[in-house]
Structure 1
Amino acid sequence: MLTPETLQVCKQHYNGYQAKINGCDKCPIRAQCITTKPTRTEQELQAWEQEVNDASAKWLAGHA
Protein backbone atom coordinates (compact mmCIF):
# COMPACT_ATOMS: atom_id res chain seq x y z
CA MET A 1 0.00 0.00 0.00
CA LEU A 2 1.24 3.49 -0.75
CA THR A 3 1.96 5.47 2.38
CA PRO A 4 0.27 8.76 3.27
CA GLU A 5 3.63 10.44 2.65
CA THR A 6 3.76 9.05 -0.89
CA LEU A 7 0.22 10.21 -1.56
CA GLN A 8 1.20 13.63 -0.19
CA VAL A 9 4.08 13.92 -2.68
CA CYS A 10 1.77 12.86 -5.48
CA LYS A 11 -0.95 15.33 -4.50
CA GLN A 12 1.58 18.13 -4.08
CA HIS A 13 2.99 17.64 -7.57
CA TYR A 14 -0.11 16.62 -9.49
CA ASN A 15 -3.25 17.93 -7.79
CA GLY A 16 -4.98 20.55 -9.89
CA TYR A 17 -2.95 19.66 -12.96
CA GLN A 18 -2.04 22.62 -15.16
CA ALA A 19 0.09 22.09 -18.24
CA LYS A 20 3.71 23.25 -17.87
CA ILE A 21 3.19 24.06 -14.17
CA ASN A 22 2.77 20.72 -12.45
CA GLY A 23 1.99 17.11 -13.19
CA CYS A 24 3.75 13.78 -13.24
CA ASP A 25 6.59 15.09 -15.38
CA LYS A 26 7.47 17.57 -12.58
CA CYS A 27 7.23 15.01 -9.77
CA PRO A 28 10.47 14.04 -7.97
CA ILE A 29 9.39 10.38 -7.60
CA ARG A 30 8.19 9.96 -11.19
CA ALA A 31 11.02 7.60 -12.17
CA GLN A 32 9.99 5.14 -9.48
CA CYS A 33 6.26 5.61 -9.95
CA ILE A 34 5.80 5.33 -13.71
CA THR A 35 5.88 1.80 -15.03
CA THR A 36 5.67 0.22 -18.45
CA LYS A 37 4.41 -3.04 -16.99
CA PRO A 38 0.61 -2.86 -16.78
CA THR A 39 0.02 -6.11 -14.92
CA ARG A 40 1.90 -7.38 -11.90
CA THR A 41 1.92 -10.30 -9.57
CA GLU A 42 1.13 -9.53 -5.93
CA GLN A 43 4.85 -9.72 -5.10
CA GLU A 44 5.77 -7.36 -7.93
CA LEU A 45 3.08 -4.91 -6.84
CA GLN A 46 4.36 -4.94 -3.26
CA ALA A 47 7.94 -4.40 -4.44
CA TRP A 48 6.84 -1.48 -6.65
CA GLU A 49 4.88 0.09 -3.78
CA GLN A 50 7.92 -0.21 -1.51
CA GLU A 51 10.17 1.38 -4.14
CA VAL A 52 7.78 4.32 -4.56
CA ASN A 53 7.34 4.68 -0.79
CA ASP A 54 11.12 4.65 -0.28
CA ALA A 55 11.59 7.30 -2.97
CA SER A 56 8.99 9.59 -1.44
CA ALA A 57 10.42 9.16 2.07
CA LYS A 58 13.89 10.02 0.78
CA TRP A 59 12.61 13.08 -1.08
CA LEU A 60 10.58 14.29 1.91
CA ALA A 61 13.59 13.86 4.23
CA GLY A 62 15.57 16.19 2.00
CA HIS A 63 12.76 18.77 1.86
CA ALA A 64 11.52 18.81 5.44
Structure 2
Amino acid sequence: MANEDLRTAQAGKNDEFYTQYHDIEVEMNAYLEYNPDVFRGKTILLPCDDPEWSNFTKYFAAKFDA
Protein backbone atom coordinates (compact mmCIF):
# COMPACT_ATOMS: atom_id res chain seq x y z
CA MET A 1 0.00 0.00 0.00
CA ALA A 2 2.69 2.51 0.99
CA ASN A 3 4.75 1.61 -2.06
CA GLU A 4 1.68 2.25 -4.20
CA ASP A 5 1.34 5.74 -2.70
CA LEU A 6 4.99 6.49 -3.43
CA ARG A 7 4.61 5.39 -7.04
CA THR A 8 1.51 7.55 -7.43
CA ALA A 9 3.34 10.55 -5.96
CA GLN A 10 6.35 9.92 -8.17
CA ALA A 11 4.16 9.86 -11.27
CA GLY A 12 2.21 12.99 -10.27
CA LYS A 13 2.95 16.15 -12.20
CA ASN A 14 2.31 18.58 -9.32
CA ASP A 15 3.88 16.63 -6.49
CA GLU A 16 5.80 19.39 -4.74
CA PHE A 17 5.95 20.33 -1.10
CA TYR A 18 5.44 23.93 -0.09
CA THR A 19 6.16 25.08 3.43
CA GLN A 20 3.09 26.82 4.78
CA TYR A 21 3.34 30.49 5.80
CA HIS A 22 1.95 29.65 9.25
CA ASP A 23 4.66 27.02 9.82
CA ILE A 24 7.38 29.52 8.93
CA GLU A 25 5.85 32.09 11.25
CA VAL A 26 5.66 29.64 14.18
CA GLU A 27 9.27 28.53 13.72
CA MET A 28 10.61 32.08 13.37
CA ASN A 29 8.69 33.23 16.45
CA ALA A 30 10.29 30.41 18.45
CA TYR A 31 13.76 31.65 17.42
CA LEU A 32 12.87 35.27 18.19
CA GLU A 33 11.41 34.42 21.60
CA TYR A 34 14.64 32.64 22.50
CA ASN A 35 16.84 35.51 21.29
CA PRO A 36 15.29 38.65 19.72
CA ASP A 37 18.62 39.57 18.07
CA VAL A 38 19.34 36.14 16.60
CA PHE A 39 19.03 37.39 12.99
CA ARG A 40 20.25 40.96 13.42
CA GLY A 41 23.11 41.68 11.03
CA LYS A 42 22.82 38.26 9.40
CA THR A 43 22.32 37.26 5.79
CA ILE A 44 19.43 34.86 5.34
CA LEU A 45 19.39 32.52 2.36
CA LEU A 46 15.86 31.56 1.40
CA PRO A 47 15.18 28.01 0.22
CA CYS A 48 13.03 28.77 -2.80
CA ASP A 49 13.03 28.28 -6.55
CA ASP A 50 10.56 31.06 -7.35
CA PRO A 51 10.61 34.06 -5.00
CA GLU A 52 7.25 35.27 -6.27
CA TRP A 53 5.51 32.12 -4.96
CA SER A 54 7.74 31.36 -1.98
CA ASN A 55 6.19 31.66 1.47
CA PHE A 56 9.71 32.20 2.84
CA THR A 57 10.11 35.28 0.63
CA LYS A 58 6.65 36.56 1.56
CA TYR A 59 7.34 36.13 5.27
CA PHE A 60 10.73 37.84 5.29
CA ALA A 61 9.56 40.64 3.01
CA ALA A 62 6.63 41.35 5.35
CA LYS A 63 8.86 41.25 8.46
CA PHE A 64 11.97 42.91 6.98
CA ASP A 65 11.83 46.09 9.08
CA ALA A 66 11.13 44.19 12.30
Q: TM-score, normalised by structure 2?
A: 0.29
More helix as a share of residues: 1
State the structure with bigger RCO (CA 8 A, min sep 6), 1 or 2: 1
Q: TM-score, normalised by structure 1?
A: 0.30
Q: Which has the larger radius of gyration?
A: 2
